[in-house]
Structure 1
């Protein structure tokens, strides 16, 4: 079973617990010192950062040993003490003079080492008088000797000061410097945690055998697990090709392995090279290749004796950098020879055989290029775009015919686009355009350029380019033309109000409807979209539902899903089909992850976050926002974080949400991404309605609903406008918005649509009509997946009941709404509901989704004792801490719970 530290460090529960105990001791006025020992990359620095992240209310001082400064006396000590040098005057004269001289602040004779150590102890104790002090010293093995001895002196003499001093060092075994300081050995992660850590570093698929090999060679070293996939393109990860020569770990460590390789016999080095080039650790394949290379089996003995490799049932390098070093140290001829031997003995995997043959080829070879092309086709069929791109790019290099070479380069660029490598795709496209292209080739190049523009910058540059490409392809390839019209629809939807003439209506009018057979999933989607923007919402509803049914079927291929699931998801929201939205958005994420299609994954993640937010799954949506940020950074895409904006608005944390929305909208306007502007206005209206600031919400909601062709976000804006306008007495505005909204909700007829309409209509109704409409809204929305909409219906019903003087009935609805909002983490709406409950005469707790997580175990225990009217002295005696520490904890508890006295604690504390 895997274990996590409190901050999510995999497999570090024991270490994190020890560090938390150390921190607690320091806060309570008891000094603690600890040395973390372990090999490079094992996670010592991460543990120091964990400690720093938990040190709320403490002052942190840092130092790190620097190899180049090991000969400079007191260099490390100066790092640690530099922030406190303004306090030197508080030290006794001899100590002050000694430390000032050691740091070069004054001239004088070399000071006594003991006096410097005593001065350091006094200085740190003085700093800790104001607040607990946490001193973190990383890479202590590279501290200069003077600093190391001074700090160990301090470590041995710290007693009752609120100071925590933690060293991290690679030194093991005969560790003379820190031998008298309590220590902890940091070891590698277990297999389960290693696999979990490696998965977090992957942004695309990795061959299972290569995955296993990395886990085995890393031997639980988190740095190796995290860094091995970084700095490499998805193509380099696919099937393990190109793996060894691109490892971006510290060159210093790798050079050490290179030095250890040089004295080995030539045959031993070549055997190591063969093991490094064969990416999955198949010892049988390795020995057969070694035999072909006429290397005797005993050539492995020197490498095994040197601790570089183990050749048992699997090939295991002592460290991943041994593999990298073997590769880098080899000459071109040796590499080609080894690849050739591996190609001869690789029988069961045609793709690896083709790759080895290609790497063994020193000149163009059409037979090998064709084999690579077949491998690319196989990779594409299962969504392996990164692998397909690698095969095609190498195939082009081995192609002598210019026209054929250009076609392969163009195909490689297309695969690079799907893999999210936009810059590489542009470069390959430029190379292809310089070669011979026929008319279809030119049209495909234009289409690819437009697709790259859309994938990398979701603004208004792409729609006219894609529309022109679609029209050009009509006479050359009708199927490609229809696919390109769908791309043009996607781009026009993103551009939205900023699309100019190439908007969704313009695209819809350009779509030919005469020659498509309408039986393919893409054809159905295209027909539905064209009808929606030309014939109107009601007329397009049957076609839209037909397309959604096709995309929800089990026979959806990976290619179809990656190309069109985003559009299908948008249509599902526009027709108010919440169940279909959940299914399609989840499938889109799954397919994009499986294929390593990073450009599509970014779209899929944003759509999925939106679906989960509406379902009230805010906690589940948060990691997807983080993943989307990581994917966006990896691909360089400028897609607006629409999912993150929606999540922030629903959470109701105004400062954070407003900053994100404002920044995202400004950036979206600059690049012409109109849909993000609309979502920005809608999320602002949602946020402000949740906070009960209806006047401000009305202005944002009005902006969100200005452009009905922006589909779902505009619809959501209308719903926010009805609520905010009704609350401010702007009934005409509310009625107009309701009329626009009802035209779509009635055509849809789903429970989500009719539930939102009933809730909105109830806001403009009185008496029995309002009561009936609220009940209808709650009943309908209760049958849907959109839990947030249900909670809002109950809130509005409760508010109406209270104004009607029906307090008991109001409490029932408001309690239900409050519990829903709290469970979801919708803090703004939860607080609005709490205030309303107070107005009914019921006491309601002020809670947030973060309250339980923010209170530490000790804070919660102190808070409950204080709520039961124990004094600070009584609490301190029971928990073995000082009354001053109790008071310090209570101040934090009051801030976190939003209370100002002990009387409010009982209601504010989260339920155990």
Structure 2
């Protein structure tokens, strides 16, 4: 781009050049954002109450960007269109869809299917979002792009999710995204992680300037009254001034300002001819802004034709705008005022007129028909229920739920209404919307439904219960529901209930009775043994006692798994392997699940997979990959609204930071995870927090304190106790005891602990106990125990192996076998340096120096160590030969963003070409 196109944006834009009053600071912020676009884009949400001037600022930004050579793309949210999936995105991208052929085929098809251009099954929402991001990035290679989204709170949910996804990933592409949103209670909030500028009321001096500019002929006392009534709201100042008669228009002074304005708009509507009033009503009730459609429906409602020329009267009064093709409202408050000020019967008639017109669009027609009646109508209800599937295929779960709710209201029998509401509640559960599910179930509770539907209702009620995660009563209730579902022949529902019950046993201790009941009911399900949910329910509910059986099932599943295994099935098997402590197998399942989820754009499950990978890779010693998984996992859990996985991934990340010597970050992340988990009693993550704090104390040389902290992880009376999750802390506890002079105490504790472990074959437990036996033994007895521990196959366990080698080398040196000690110590040092175990590497170097080893120096901390987790992930994929586009598909980034990362990666690694990356990363 020619640098001259950006020059005038480096200075603040004066308010006088825009017609806006009192918004100099906001205009300067927008100008700065546009001026920075050459070096990388960004996003900003302009938030505030109705009429505060958000849309005017957006218009000013469009003008600035147009002068600077930007390509400007726009969309606006609509209350009426909110139920139409991707309508906002279709409007936003309409002018750049000619570039869709530049996208990878999977993204191209996903986007075009979502926008209704191609037929096909529903595309994964995040694949659609990635396609939109890359389409914007491709467009920005030719000219910078400004994306304007007005009234974000009313944008259809799938389109709004795409906007949030894109906004979080702008940084290297010259794309700026500006959105406006209301902030009133009850409206969908602006995502908390997006930059936001809150607009306040105008200062009194600025408010007076607005009134004088609009109606300088008014008496000073009248201007004072308008300023007082308007409360600094620019729209109120303009509208009340322009239409002042004998007193302030609108109802009594006690009403909120928004209702005053709505009433003022409706008051103007009543002065228009009847046909124009009907046209405005149809435009408010319609689900499109197509002028021809609005006029055709108005003719049906009014009983006579109404022309575009007739609508000029509504334009003159400040109610409507239209350009010959599209009709829109002067302000969203006009639409809401019209809808609220119209009688119910007349509004139903307007919807009936629209429905009569839409013979070629059964999807929209059924919705308007449903709004045109006020009594049960099973035919319309059936059409709505069938069309909810189309809404799901178009990617709008929220719209599908709305259709099912309205179908329930129109149902002729209670059982039909209850079934439809339960189906809506299940969709709400899939969205993670506890509030929505509870509201729907409260309605279902008042209807007469079947026994099986009662079971489904119990599941949905219990799965969002706010009680303690390990509450035995909740677990037993879910088990009882599973038994009833199995008796009714619904094996899938039974398994879903049992996985839910098992997870309650995992999150926190629920007691032997509850765990046993989950296992008993699961084992009673004949023919389900090969279902991953069956394996997961056993493993997660009781990993110690069911370990041997689950071990056989998991390895059988791995041997028989083919390329067609569903990604969610692989996730469940990976979860089961992690639950029983078979970490290498867990990583194998989870890696395959991750690859398929990425390929399919299923980001909803990806944070769960990444969180489990963090823990498993820490235990094994693949710490660099664990760092990558943690960084991306937190980001995607935030993207997809899964706070429990955000907390779990933060806990794992804190443990890793402590082991790598970043104590400040470790304690900060641990505190954040604890704050999220402690009130809910989620002990599995609190255990990880306890291991973080113990590891941090070890690296600070405070071994006695470390032992005391780590011991709490193994105390059933403590909130951080979790028998299985504590496996990973056994070696740390033994190490703290050995270094802190508390071996005898630790041996007694380990003797007690091992009695509760039974004969489970868990690899993690076996590796940790062998290490503990060796380091806690008296020196004269330790030799055979080290031999036994090192005889294990530790190929997949570099972290435990290196610690064993360090302990063994130190023991050999104490036994005056100095020359022999150097071999395991050298091996340990290489591993510690490779994975980033800073404290352990330094201990090993000291041991080698004490053995007489010369020229032992720390490995360079530059190069790979300087890469961020995301940079290392990109470098690995590039080293494997993937193009920027393919890397972007894997990591949900634009190719340009990948290229910018590589531009920074090359000098850090000291390379100048992609072909050199593999050598620079070798051994990691």
TM norm structure 1: 0.56
Mark the CA change 1:849 to 1:697 in structure 2 (over 3 Å): closer, same or farther.
Answer: farther
Mark the CA change 1:548 to 1:772 in structure 2 (over 3 Å): closer, same or farther.
Answer: closer
2:404 matched to which residue of 1? 392
Q: Aligned equivalents of 1:237 and 1:336: distance in 2?
A: 31
Which among 620, 624, 629 is matched to residue 616 of structure 1? 624
Does residue 529 of structure 2 align to residue 518 of structure 1? yes
1:210 matched to which residue of 2? 88
1:643 matched to which residue of 2? 649
Q: CA deviation at 1:489?
A: 0.9
Q: CA deviation at 1:369?
A: 0.9
Mark the CA change 1:756 to 1:329 in structure 2 (over 3 Å): closer, same or farther.
Answer: farther
1:453 matched to which residue of 2? 465
Mark the CA change 1:461 to 1:549 in structure 2 (over 3 Å): closer, same or farther.
Answer: farther
Q: Is contact 1:725-1:734 (8 Å) kept?
A: no
Secondary structure at the aligned position of 1:780 is classed as: coil
Secondary structure at the aligned position of 2:458 is classed as: helix
- Superposed, 1:696-775 pairs within 5 Å as 696-705=705-714, 713-728=725-740, 733=746, 747=761
2:503 matched to which residue of 1? 490
2:584 matched to which residue of 1? 576
Q: Is contact 1:358-1:368 (8 Å) kept?
A: yes
Q: CA deviation at 1:698?
A: 3.4
Q: Is contact 2:279-2:306 (8 Å) kept?
A: yes
Q: CA deviation at 1:584?
A: 3.1
1:892 matched to which residue of 2? none
Q: Aligned equivalents of 2:732 and 2:692: distance in 1?
A: 9
2:886 matched to which residue of 1? none
Listed one character per residue, the Cα deviations across residues 697-749 of structure 1 (whole Å, up to 9, x for unaligned) are 33444443567995752322224334444444656747996996999999467
Does residue 434 of structure 2 align to residue 422 of structure 1? yes
How well do the aligned residues superpose, as a CA RMSD in angstroms?
6.4
Q: Is contact 2:381-2:410 (8 Å) kept?
A: yes
Q: Aligned equivalents of 2:344 and 2:612: distance in 1?
A: 47
Mark the CA change 1:376 to 1:495 in structure 2 (over 3 Å): closer, same or farther.
Answer: farther
Q: Is contact 1:396-1:409 (8 Å) kept?
A: yes
Q: CA deviation at 1:372?
A: 1.6
Q: Aligned equivalents of 2:9 and 2:758: distance in 1?
A: 56
1:362 matched to which residue of 2? 374
Secondary structure at the aligned position of 1:616 is classed as: helix
Listed one character per residue, the Cα deviations across residues 847-898 of structure 1 (whole Å, up to 9, x for unaligned) are 79999799xxxxxxxxxxxxxxxxxxxxxxxxxxxxxxxxxxxxxxxxxxxx
Q: Aligned equivalents of 1:703 and 1:402: distance in 2?
A: 53
Mark the CA change 1:402 to 1:627 in structure 2 (over 3 Å): closer, same or farther.
Answer: same
Secondary structure at the aligned position of 1:466 is classed as: helix
1:6 matched to which residue of 2? none
Mark the CA change 1:351 to 1:579 in structure 2 (over 3 Å): closer, same or farther.
Answer: farther
2:443 matched to which residue of 1? 431
Listed one character per residue, the Cα deviations across residues 818-854 of structure 1 (whole Å, up to 9, x for unaligned) are 4643xxxx88778888999999776659979999799
In structure 2, list runs of 5 or more residues that go unmatched.
35-47, 96-135, 137-143, 164-180, 191-198, 202-232, 240-260, 869-924
1:372 matched to which residue of 2? 384
Q: Is contact 1:665-1:680 (8 Å) kept?
A: yes
Which among 203, 213, 228 is matched to residue 153 of structure 2? 228
Q: Aligned equivalents of 1:188 and 1:301: distance in 2?
A: 34
Count of aligned positions: 677
Secondary structure at the aligned position of 1:395 is classed as: helix
Q: Is contact 1:762-1:769 (8 Å) kept?
A: yes
Q: CA deviation at 1:269?
A: 6.5
- Superposed, 1:22-421 pairs within 5 Å as 207-213=85-91, 224=149, 227-228=152-153, 289=297, 294-299=305-310, 309=321, 332=344, 335-346=347-358, 350-377=362-389, 385-421=397-433
Q: Is contact 2:673-2:689 (8 Å) kept?
A: yes
Q: Aligned equivalents of 1:437 and 1:527: distance in 2?
A: 31
Q: Is contact 2:475-2:514 (8 Å) kept?
A: yes
Secondary structure at the aligned position of 1:409 is classed as: helix
Q: Aligned equivalents of 2:841 and 2:310: distance in 1?
A: 71
Mark the CA change 1:659 to 1:517 in structure 2 (over 3 Å): closer, same or farther.
Answer: closer
Q: CA deviation at 1:624?
A: 3.6
Q: Aligned equivalents of 2:801 and 2:360: distance in 1?
A: 56
Q: Is contact 2:65-2:72 (8 Å) kept?
A: no
Which among 502, 511, 526 is matched to residue 500 of structure 1? 511
Listed one character per residue, the Cα deviations across residues 316-357 of structure 1 (whole Å, up to 9, x for unaligned) are 888877876776676655654454344445467654333232
Q: Is contact 2:603-2:636 (8 Å) kept?
A: no
TM norm structure 2: 0.56
Which among 541, 550, 553 is matched to residue 543 of structure 1? 553
- Superposed, 1:520-669 pairs within 5 Å as 520-526=531-537, 534=545, 536-546=546-556, 554-556=564-566, 567-568=575-576, 570-571=578-579, 574=582, 576-577=584-585, 578-584=587-593, 606-607=611-612, 610=615, 616-617=624-625, 618=627, 621-622=630-631, 624-625=633-634, 628=637, 641-652=647-658, 653-655=662-664, 657-658=666-667, 661=670, 664-665=673-674, 668=677
Q: Which has the higher contact order (CA 8 A, sep 6+)?
A: 2
Q: CA deviation at 1:461?
A: 6.2
In structure 1, list runs of 5 or more residues that go unmatched.
2-12, 20-32, 52-65, 68-138, 143-168, 174-182, 199-203, 783-787, 855-912
Listed one character per residue, the Cα deviations across residues 77-131 of structure 1 (whole Å, up to 9, x for unaligned) are xxxxxxxxxxxxxxxxxxxxxxxxxxxxxxxxxxxxxxxxxxxxxxxxxxxxxxx
Deviates more, 1:608-617 or 1:33-42: 33-42
Q: Is contact 2:401-2:427 (8 Å) kept?
A: yes
Q: CA deviation at 1:275?
A: 5.6
